[in-house]
Chain A
Amino acid sequence: MRLTLTWTVGLLRRRRGRLLGVSLGVALAVALVASLGSFLTSSQATMTSRALRSVAVDWQLQVAPGADAAAVLSTVRTSAGVRTAVPVGFGTTTGLEASAGGTTQTTGPGVVLGLPPGYAESFPGEIRLLSGSRSGVLIAQQTASNLHLRPGDLVTIGRAGRPPAGLRVDGVVDLPQADSLFQKVGAPTTSQPSAPPDNVVLLPAAVFSTVMGTSGSGSAVAAVTTQIHVARTPPASSDPATAYVDVVGAAHNLEAALAGAGVVGNNVGAALSGARADAAYAQMLFLFLGLPGAVLAALLTAALVAGGAQRRRDEQALLRTRGLTPRAVAGFAAAEAVLVGLMGGAIGLALAAVASQWAFGSVSGGAGPQALVTWYAAAAALGMLVSLAVVLAPALRDLQGGTVAAARHGIGRSPRSWWMRGGVDVLLLGGALLVFWGSSRDNYSLVLAPEGVATISVSYWAFLGPALFWLGAGMLLWRVAVLALAHGRRPLARAVTPLTGRLAAATASSMVRQRRPITRSVVLLALAVSFVVSTATFNSTYQQQAEADAQLTNGADVTVTPGPGLTGTVPTVASMAAVGGVAHVEPIQHRFAYVGADLQDLYGVHPGSIMSATALQDAYFQGGTAAALMRALAARPDALLVSDETVKDFQLRPGDLINLRLPDRVTQQLRTVPFHYAGIVKEFPTAPKDSFFVANADYVSRVTGSDAVGAYLIDTRSEGQPGVADVLRRQWGSAAVVTDVTQARAQVGSSLTSVNLAGLTRLELVFAVLLAAGAGGLVLVIGLVERRRTLAILSVLGARRRQLTGLVLSEAVVVGAGGVLGGAVIAWVLSQMLVKVLTGVFDPPPAQVAVPWTYLGVTVVVVVVALGAAAVGSARSSTRPAIEELRDL
């Protein structure tokens, strides 16, 4: 024990450089795992809280026909976890009618809701006031538009078997969660209505009772049902999967308690279901983007240790000849491994804390104390494992099996590796191709969330493709590099002549014979570069698509949506375009059109200029690119883009006539307008997740006599959106709703995008650059002893310093060129595979990857500088006379 302690103290005093170098390699692995792991936990918590916030009404409990609504309400209110529970009446109307400007508008059947007092305060996300008062008789926006209603107008509610009831409108509202509000609670997904009702009136409960006849005076109107709307306390767990299981279990528990008197529409469960899938994807991002980094750091550490292996063997041999037993020598190696593990762990955790503070604004990265401690402990344990694997294991191996013959195979004459003889690299690449092709047939479904199963599973099968490719490509690069060096002496000599002068041939011979360590350096650098490039490309593509998603939701950088029925002076396109920061203002029409009995949104656009205001991705369309379909709308004014569902419903083929009924401005009646089917539109800026049409605005104006604008899409060249939005809000006042893309980024569909990807990106890219610089610079330090000997011998034989520097620089150039080029090729393929395999993460899916050229340029510069610095440093590592170096070596 005392000897071990003496040895350890000796290491600290005499081998500080070696210990520090290896510890830094361990520290990188520890820091990456600790910071990414705590970020992963905080991301899951973010997803959970976002899912909870996204739901206006946690549960919509449908009271069964004939059940005692009051008793059900009482049971719900006493159920665990229920914070608020209120009854909401659902009734139907045979139609609505309103008169304005000498004309009368009518609608088809609709829905009437009866809301208890304080409903809007209890469930603020369910109702958004557009104009008028928040309480009283409220009309949904679309209904108000159809009937040309404004606050203060009279609306008549048709009642089956009773005379219509007239009410004065107090406010016009938007129902942001109409899909869930009007769901058929308890019905399977396939039986759910394809769209919420077009005609909705919201009444105070007392008025509802009177109008719908449930107050006892007279016969009740048919089809009045009751739902209990519930707000719950947040689940205890911040993990979306656990929270999902909790809320689903609670809902089933309540249903069991109600014994058939009610069915729970679990909105919060549905939101958490999406979040748990997104959380699974976040785990995959951690695996895909974080684990290779940790593996690389471990490989770097192993390479560093291998560089000092000969000295270790010499020390071990010396100790053995002095009488120490193999067990004692192994104890020394173990002590060194533990010391490196502890040092690396401490440095790594400190690095993780600093990195998290910089990337995420807090040391914990947003994780709670328990999660932070867990991840930090796991990372430290990993660091110790890496240290034992790279320091202790080789030492034990040398103690057990080192022979003189094996030791002599140091330079040049090593036999071919077993994996090269067996073609393992080719097998891995073939395996990668097979797995990739196989997983493409399942559309890369990585997250499996079967219906009716509370837990989800992750299909890790698809990961094998990129993982096998990375390994196989690294091995193939090794094979190619070894062959190139073995047979490339002459071209190599010619290439290094500018650096080494007369020593060119000797330099080339030296590199050919040291092709194994040089190849190891090339492959290590290539793997690091491929990690950097593929990570950066994935992140960049993700950001690109997240931005596209935000633009899709908001419409453009800034969107102005005038309120219905505006009169008086409103800002013009010219006045909006004059606002500082505005590059383009594009008006688009928003109408409603009937195709058959189905009412859909219709967007009239100017095909020649719409793409100047907003990014239309090819993924939004089918049957042509975005540009091609806009050209089609321009070339044929009555061309129409429709949804896939409409094509199927009406069996449309390109060019088929399709008649829509649109409101005519003059007659205020619906008139039939002919269009021709031109293509499928799946998504469109500001359009709902529903069927809709896109048509030529000029044609729509001409045939309907109205060029009323539904929204103005404003391009600010992706800069200063909030500022421009503020100016436009002042211009428009309460006459329009102005939103900008930064607000949409917080609201887009996937909770994965709410994750602090900016912070994750910063963290990963910094680590990636550190790994690349380490792989480039540190690998040249490997074998420093051998290089020092060579340099000292050449120096005493008369070589000049310039020639010596040239010799080391030549190796740096070969390593750098091979590593960067090889890494770039591997990265290009890996990026394509990653984007395909993780396609579920993107919304919308990318048409092509986005390459962050600036970042990659910076990385290449860092690698080159690291290589150059290490080369020059190696060449000038000693200020002592060469003869003294030789004596010591």
Chain B
Amino acid sequence: MAARARIAIVGPSGSGKSTLLHLMAGLEIPTGGTVEWPGLDAGAADRARQIGVVFQGPTLVPALDVLENASLPLVLAGVPAKECRSRALEALRLVGVEALVHQLPEELSGGQAQRVALARVLAQGPHLVLADEPTGQLDAVAGRQVIDELLLAADRLGAALVVSTHDALVAERLDERWTMHEGRLSAAAEGRVPA
């Protein structure tokens, strides 16, 4: 896919949307074939830094506060502590949750938690953002806010954005649509089908 692509992977539950996303992120190992990103760095660790994943459901470390959670990928990448802090704070500001920096995940609403997860991705500065059902556990209002932040963030980063969703309203806001059916990408109603 091209940089700045905006792709929705749609399909019924169990069709393999999440699995496809996880394969793209390198979080699952394919049983056959390879996943190649010619435009990204070759090493697995380097590639992991360039691909940011927003998961479905709560994925914040319960015992770390918002700032620490947002800094985690940077910490793991070996970024100096001061820089981790400043980049995480900036990312939190961008998604509008900077006031919650010292809160714990259990004190956040679902939408707030998902925005912190988004800030965690932004802080990394990835080239590719993969979002797996980011609004799956949120109400309509919170879900819309999250998608707004997601699109804005991808624009700021100049990153490609792939969102797996079964929500048609979410899919509409993206440029391309890939359809999954029983584990296969089938012809899209609109947009290109990957080679």
Contact = CB atoms under 8 A, between A and B. Distances in A.
> Which of A413, A506, A882 has the most chain B CB atoms inside 10 A of its CB?
A506
Contact of A509 (B55, B57, B63, B76): B63
Interface stretch (B21-29, B140-148, B172-180, B182-190): B21-29
Contact of A882 (B18, B27, B78): B27
Interface stretch (B7-15, B64-72, B86-94, B152-160): B64-72
Given A502-B78, A796-B55, A798-B49, A883 B27 contact: yes
Interface string B23-38: 0000111000000000
Interface stretch (A404-412, A447-455, A756-764, A846-854): A404-412
Given A797-B72, A798-B77, A790 B49 contact: no
A505 interface: yes
B76 A797 contact: yes
Contacts of A410: 62, 106
B93 to A, nearest CB: 21
B63 A510 contact: yes
A192 B45 CA distance: 93
A790 B61 contact: yes
Contacts of A503: 75-76
B111 interface: no
A886 B104 contact: no
Contacts of B49: 798
B81 to A, nearest CB: 7
Contacts of A794: 61, 72, 76
A513 interface: yes
Q: How large is the interface on A (under 10, 10 to 19, 20 to 34, 35 or more residues)?
A: 20 to 34
A411 B106 contact: yes
A786 interface: yes
A544 B37 CA distance: 75
A509 B60 CA distance: 14
B73 A797 contact: yes
A111 B34 CA distance: 111
A224 interface: no
A794 to B, nearest CB: 7
Interface string A779-795: 00000001001100110
Contacts of B65: 509
B41 interface: no
Nearest to B67: A509
A799 interface: yes
B137 interface: no
B53 A789 contact: no
B76 to A, nearest CB: 5
B28 A798 contact: no
B48 interface: yes
A832 interface: no
Nearest to B27: A883
Interface in A545-585: none
Interface centre among B28, B45, B72, B81 (most CB of A within 10 A): B72
Contacts of A510: 61, 63-64
A793 B113 CA distance: 14
Contacts of B104: 411-413, 513
A233 B28 CA distance: 83
Contact of A796 (B29, B53, B75, B78): B53
A798 B29 contact: no
A216 interface: no
A798 B45 CA distance: 7
A730 B61 CA distance: 80
Contacts of B59: 793, 796, 886
A778 to B, nearest CB: 21
Q: What is the interface residue range for chain B against chain A? A: 20 to 34
B167 interface: no
Nearest to A795: B27
B60 A798 contact: no
Contacts of A369: none
B107 interface: yes
A781 B181 CA distance: 41
B110 to A, nearest CB: 14
A506 B64 contact: yes
A509 B106 contact: no
A881 interface: yes
A514 interface: yes
A793 B60 contact: yes
A404 to B, nearest CB: 11
Interface string B96-122: 000000001011000000000000100
A796 B63 contact: no
A881 B57 CA distance: 17
Interface in A380-416: 408, 410-413
Interface in A846-889: 881-884, 886-887
A411 B63 contact: yes
A773 to B, nearest CB: 26
A248 to B, nearest CB: 67
A705 B141 CA distance: 115
B22 A506 contact: no
Nearest to A407: B106
B63 A798 contact: no
Contacts of B63: 411-412, 509-511, 513-514, 790
Contact of A881 (B18, B29, B106): B29
A789 B63 CA distance: 11
Nearest to A412: B104
Contact of A883 (B22, B45, B62, B76): B22
B180 to A, nearest CB: 17
Contacts of B55: 796, 886
A800 to B, nearest CB: 8
Contacts of B72: 506, 794, 797
Contacts of A793: 59-61
Contacts of B107: 408, 413
Contacts of B64: 506, 509-510, 513
Which of A412, A502, A798 counts the most B-chain CB atoms under 10 A from its CB?
A798
Interface string A794-812: 1011110001000000000
Interface string A631-660: 000000000000000000000000000000
Contacts of B62: 410-411, 786, 789-790
- Tell me which of B55, B61, B78 has the highest count of chain A C-beta atoms within 10 A of its own C-beta: B61
A883 B75 contact: no
A502 B76 CA distance: 6
Interface string A238-276: 000000000000000000000000000000000000000
Given A411-B62, A411-B63, A881-B27, A798 B78 contact: no
A775 B55 CA distance: 36
Interface in B149-172: none
A789 B106 CA distance: 14
Nearest to B121: A797
B27 to A, nearest CB: 4
A798 B77 CA distance: 8
A411 B107 CA distance: 10
Nearest to A408: B106
Nearest to A803: B76
Contacts of A506: 61, 64, 68, 72, 75
Interface centre among B49, B60, B65, B106 (most CB of A within 10 A): B106
Contacts of A786: 62
A430 to B, nearest CB: 36
Q: What are the nearest 4 A-B pairs in CB distance? A: A510-B63, A883-B27, A513-B63, A798-B76
Given A412-B104, A502-B76, A794-B76, 7 more contacts: A411-B104, A412-B63, A502-B75, A505-B68, A505-B81, A513-B63, A790-B62
22 contacts: A408-B107, A410-B106, A411-B63, A411-B106, A502-B78, A505-B81, A506-B64, A510-B63, A513-B64, A786-B62, A790-B63, A793-B59, A793-B60, A794-B72, A796-B59, A798-B45, A798-B48, A798-B77, A883-B27, A883-B28, A884-B28, A886-B57
Interface of B: 18, 22, 27-29, 45, 48-49, 53, 55, 57, 59-65, 68, 72-73, 75-78, 81, 104, 106-107, 120
